[in-house]
Amino acid sequence: MKAVAVISSDFINSTQYEKNFSRKVIIALKKEIQNIKEQYSNCNVKFSIYRGDSFQVLIYKPEMALHFALLIKMAINRIYEKKNRPKNILPKADIRFSIGIGKANIKRKIEESTGEAFVFSGRMLDAMKPKDTKTALVTTNQDVNEEFAVHFKFLDIFSARWSVASAEVIYYLLKGYKEQQIANELGLSQAAVNYRKKVAGWEAVKVLLVRYKQVIQHKL
């Protein structure tokens, strides 16, 4: 049985969202999942939302799980209620997510599926809630778990500085857009996009994504 990845996630402080904002966040989440399904159809992505503020994503290519999780996070982080917003305002909506990689018994509905990937992901998400942790990975390989516990600790510290403006740029970079394409999407100059990219530390994010993919492909 081939290993799969399961992303278990929930919205942080979702009870503080106003009704209209909460609806906007859920719409953005569903839209991004659909975008991922269409753009990466070979990954056979499946999605389930439950309790209104929690969701799971099943991915048949575990090496893509971190990329997809960050895409979803940025799609949520970049949401802002009003058209005119301060430049450096922090995101109002955010998620924590746990990636579990292992064997799984996949049923027609994700919530009926079982196996290592689901147990790893779900249990870790529950363990994260009392802590100030937003990103986690659990696999059958303890060396991999320990390495990414360190990487993700730095990612959490780093990403805590990202503004809505940073999230917008990272979102499109994760989609593979060039600077000028992002500038066209956001109505900015290419220089402004380049500045936001540097402030957000995109080069470090790229290195992490490459390392994650290499490790998952060669050690699991």
Q: Tokens 């309790």, residue?
A: 51
Helix (H, G, I), strand (E, B) or coil at 105: strand
Supply the pTM of this predicted model. 0.94
Closest alpha carbon to 98 in 71, 129, 63 = 129
**pLDDT in tens for each of the 220 residues of the chain?**
689 999 999 999 898 899 999 999 999 999 999 999 999 998 889 999 987 789 999 999 999 999 999 999 999 999 987 666 676 899 999 999 999 999 999 888 888 889 999 999 999 999 998 888 999 999 999 999 999 999 999 999 999 999 999 999 999 999 999 999 999 999 999 999 999 999 999 999 999 999 999 999 998 8
**For the chain, what is the domain count?**
1
The CATH number of residue 114's host domain is: 3.30.70.270
Residue 135 lies in domain: 4-219
